[in-house]
A and B are shown apart, each in its own frame.
Chain A
């Protein structure tokens, strides 16, 4: 049924507001994302090979040279791993990085050999990331002035060379190791890290301006249709929001109150629940499996908060239509209101459970950063994702009541496929690929990046989260819309 009353809102003002909010968001995002908008950890980093043996005793006169090239756009660090023969050593060692094209010295550093630990790393760090070395032939030279018998030895990997050289692309210098001028088989245990430019950082303003222009154009189109008395999707949505705002508020209020009805602690459970869950998991998992996760309590709590929002909101949306059968068969209200309000009342819960999350983060010594302000993004997108899935489930539930039992099993599987209490790296590679396709993993990674690392995730994660949310919502809304007229016949 169409809303026939002309709602009394100013369309022009809403358009202007949209544009203003968009501009403000774009600028805010630019500052909040900061460094992560422009650079990401380079995909061309060279990882430390697994050490297999020592090279030579690096006494006075001994020189070890490793040639290599890398696909790192901005070089930050070069490290070398050492062996000490398990004895106290003395003297100074020097690491130098040369550009072989023009023979210039790029980085160098001298260390006190006595400070080097067995298997320890010495690292050269660039003050400012060095650019223009991508795919340039490079030479890493290590030498020392220690006396024989008191010298350390850089470690090497013999089998690692083949793997590294196999991955080489055309035009890159092969890895080759020389010891005291003699070519040797194997590769020095060294690592290179740096960062790459990202498209979003280079074209941020162009991109956002283009998007803004597209939004402006769309609004203009909608406005023209509106003045001509035609209804477009957006105008209809605005009318619906205006008309059903009060109803949504009341229903959310009811759901929320109904959840804690007749319990003594009431709303307090909203933040007691995730805390207690976290505690149990902490006790179990820090004793049973020894995962090396920094800030494990915060890691667990993030997982719990995100996953319990997902399972609660979808579980509630699932029964939203059949649970309100009494209303649906008697009063006309757009049916999407019911799953929508369930998602929203769960969101209130989630927001409350963020309080203990922040508290635990603070107690663990994590200082709040500006990345906390990015949290609304993953949470909003997560809500959209849940809304889409919830609508799909609610519609399916009307026709087949088996769905609720299936869903119970599915959430359990889903929980184990979400890295709530384990790191993804602990999984075998095949399973890792599956887990990384799990939408909840993406949202969870986003949240953890903001809270634990205190930085914005890579821009590509924003896109992934948004695309998954919108696609799910589109599918859910489509199925719901197609089937909603039949609901009343099956209730």
Chain B
């Protein structure tokens, strides 16, 4: 075998080092197409009559075009872009809610989305029951929830109200409960669409701290925000999306500076 030159050796070492950083999310050439009809057809009659009269027009709209990037284990990855750039769409594709029209997303690990709080709540159940229901929806195990139950209740500051049906809760109480459930876990991959600030000033401070703790605690985080200040504060790397295409991927400061110039 030919002896490797120094340069080749170094290149190989870099490649190996690269390989050793485990990729937890691989986004490969992902495109997402939406078909927009003039208005949604919700009945069979409407569908048939339109189809027959040839009025079934569809406008194609590509929310993502050939987006590719990797997220490595333990890093905090920011996603920036203007409105309609496809930020939320890419999060939905990564968390498996949307299936991409083309391309693949591979993820290794339990994904906990914090897209919207409390979407799995049932208003007629008590706070106690909702902790288990919502926890199950987020993919937590029963043993885990049981062991963390006291912590969740304590964090939410609900006290005795935990045994009351949540339809009687104030919106602040609901938000506190939802936040407590969503952040109790140490997920392998956490998806955050804007930092959530709920409750009174004290609770806001507490929840901000909890988020920071989570993000610095070895979890891989995908973070979407319009606040460049937050992005600069927390992210290791940034993906810049524009009109569904990946404009640039790179170190936070570099990309943010360029983004601000536009």
A250→B47 CA distance, assembly (Å): 37
Asked if B136 and A247 sit within 8 Å, CB to CB, the answer is yes
A331-B97, A401-B43, A402-B43 known; A258 vs B141 contact (CB < 8 Å): no
Q: Which of A28-69 contact B (CB under 8 A)?
A: none
Q: Which of A412-464 contact B (CB under 8 A)?
A: none
**B116, B122, B140: most-surrounded residue (chain A CB, <10 A):** B122
Interface string of B59-89 (1 = CB under 8 A from A): 0000000000000000000000000000000
9-residue interface stretch from A164-172, A280-288, A322-330, A354-362? A322-330
Of the four ranges (under 10, 10 to 19, 20 to 34, 35 or more), the interface on chain A belongs to 20 to 34
Asked if A333 and B137 sit within 8 Å, CB to CB, the answer is yes
Interface string of A239-256 (1 = CB under 8 A from B): 000000011011101100
Asked if B43 and A400 sit within 8 Å, CB to CB, the answer is yes
Q: Which of B110-127 contact A (CB under 8 A)?
A: 110-111, 113, 115-116, 119-120, 122, 124-125
Is B1 in the interface zone, CB < 8 Å from A? no
Q: How far is the CB of B154 from chain A (nearest CB, A)?
A: 22
Asked if B120 and A258 sit within 8 Å, CB to CB, the answer is no
Asked if A246 and B142 sit within 8 Å, CB to CB, the answer is yes
Asked if A4 and B125 sit within 8 Å, CB to CB, the answer is no
A326→B138 CA distance, assembly (Å): 14
9-residue interface stretch from A202-210, A221-229, A483-491? A483-491
Chain B minimum-CB-distance residue to A400: B44
Chain A minimum-CB-distance residue to B35: A489
Is B95 in the interface zone, CB < 8 Å from A? yes
Q: Top 4 nearest A-B pairs by Cβ distance?
A: A332-B96, A250-B136, A1-B96, A485-B99
In the assembled complex, 10 residue pairs joining A and B whose CB atoms fall closer than 8 Å, in A order, are A250-B136, A257-B124, A258-B125, A326-B119, A328-B97, A330-B113, A331-B97, A400-B42, A400-B43, A489-B34
A329→B99 CA distance, assembly (Å): 12
Asked if A488 and B98 sit within 8 Å, CB to CB, the answer is yes
Q: How far is the CB of A21 from chain B (nearest CB, A)?
A: 25
Is B45 in the interface zone, CB < 8 Å from A? yes
A253→B132 CA distance, assembly (Å): 10
Is B250 in the interface zone, CB < 8 Å from A? no
Asked if A402 and B95 sit within 8 Å, CB to CB, the answer is no
Asked if A327 and B109 sit within 8 Å, CB to CB, the answer is no
* Of the residues B109, B111, B119, contact of A332 by C-beta under 8 Å: B111
Is B133 in the interface zone, CB < 8 Å from A? yes
**B95, B97, B110, B113: most-surrounded residue (chain A CB, <10 A):** B97
Chain A minimum-CB-distance residue to B115: A330
Q: How far is the CB of A167 from chain B (nearest CB, A)?
A: 49
Asked if B133 and A254 sit within 8 Å, CB to CB, the answer is yes
Residues of B contacting A485 in the complex (Cβ-Cβ under 8 angstroms): 99
Q: How far is the CB of B63 from chain A (nearest CB, A)?
A: 11
Chain A minimum-CB-distance residue to B133: A250
Asked if B42 and A250 sit within 8 Å, CB to CB, the answer is no
Is B129 in the interface zone, CB < 8 Å from A? yes
Q: How far is the CB of B81 from chain A (nearest CB, A)?
A: 21
B interface residue numbers (CB < 8 A to A): 34-35, 40, 42-45, 47, 95-99, 107-111, 113, 115-116, 119-120, 122, 124-125, 129, 132-133, 136-142
Q: How far is the CB of B93 from chain A (nearest CB, A)?
A: 10
A489→B63 CA distance, assembly (Å): 13
Chain A minimum-CB-distance residue to B101: A485
Asked if B97 and A329 sit within 8 Å, CB to CB, the answer is yes
A254→B124 CA distance, assembly (Å): 9
Q: Which of A314-338 contact B (CB under 8 A)?
A: 326-333
* Of the residues B42, B96, B136, contact of A401 by C-beta under 8 Å: B42
**B108, B115, B124: most-surrounded residue (chain A CB, <10 A):** B124
Asked if B115 and A258 sit within 8 Å, CB to CB, the answer is no
Residues of A contacting B138 in the complex (Cβ-Cβ under 8 angstroms): 331
Residues of B contacting A333 in the complex (Cβ-Cβ under 8 angstroms): 137
Residues of B contacting A87 in the complex (Cβ-Cβ under 8 angstroms): none
Asked if B95 and A331 sit within 8 Å, CB to CB, the answer is yes
A400→B45 CA distance, assembly (Å): 9
A interface residue numbers (CB < 8 A to B): 1, 4-5, 246-247, 249-251, 253-254, 257-258, 261-262, 326-333, 400-402, 485, 488-490
* Of the residues A1, A5, A327, contact of B119 by C-beta under 8 Å: A327
* Of the residues B34, B137, B141, contact of A331 by C-beta under 8 Å: B137
Asked if A262 and B124 sit within 8 Å, CB to CB, the answer is yes
Q: How far is the CB of B125 from chain A (nearest CB, A)?
A: 6
A257→B99 CA distance, assembly (Å): 33
Chain B minimum-CB-distance residue to A245: B142
Residues of B contacting A251 in the complex (Cβ-Cβ under 8 angstroms): 133, 136
Asked if A246 and B124 sit within 8 Å, CB to CB, the answer is no
Asked if A330 and B97 sit within 8 Å, CB to CB, the answer is yes
A402→B35 CA distance, assembly (Å): 22
Asked if B119 and A331 sit within 8 Å, CB to CB, the answer is yes
Given contacts A253-B129, A328-B97, 4 further A-B contacts (CB under 8 A): A4-B107, A254-B133, A331-B137, A490-B40
A331→B191 CA distance, assembly (Å): 11
Chain A minimum-CB-distance residue to B105: A1
Chain B minimum-CB-distance residue to A257: B125
Q: How far is the CB of B102 from chain A (nearest CB, A)?
A: 13
Asked if A247 and B109 sit within 8 Å, CB to CB, the answer is no
Asked if A327 and B137 sit within 8 Å, CB to CB, the answer is yes
Chain B minimum-CB-distance residue to A403: B44
Residues of A contacting B133 in the complex (Cβ-Cβ under 8 angstroms): 250-251, 253-254
A400→B141 CA distance, assembly (Å): 36
**B34, B107, B125: most-surrounded residue (chain A CB, <10 A):** B125
A411→B140 CA distance, assembly (Å): 38
Residues of B contacting A261 in the complex (Cβ-Cβ under 8 angstroms): 124
Asked if B136 and A332 sit within 8 Å, CB to CB, the answer is no
Residues of B contacting A247 in the complex (Cβ-Cβ under 8 angstroms): 136-137, 139
A330-B113, A400-B43 known; A254 vs B122 contact (CB < 8 Å): yes
A250→B124 CA distance, assembly (Å): 14
Residues of B contacting A5 in the complex (Cβ-Cβ under 8 angstroms): 109-110
A489→B132 CA distance, assembly (Å): 29
Residues of B contacting A326 in the complex (Cβ-Cβ under 8 angstroms): 119-120
A251→B142 CA distance, assembly (Å): 13
Residues of A contacting B47 in the complex (Cβ-Cβ under 8 angstroms): 400
A249→B140 CA distance, assembly (Å): 13
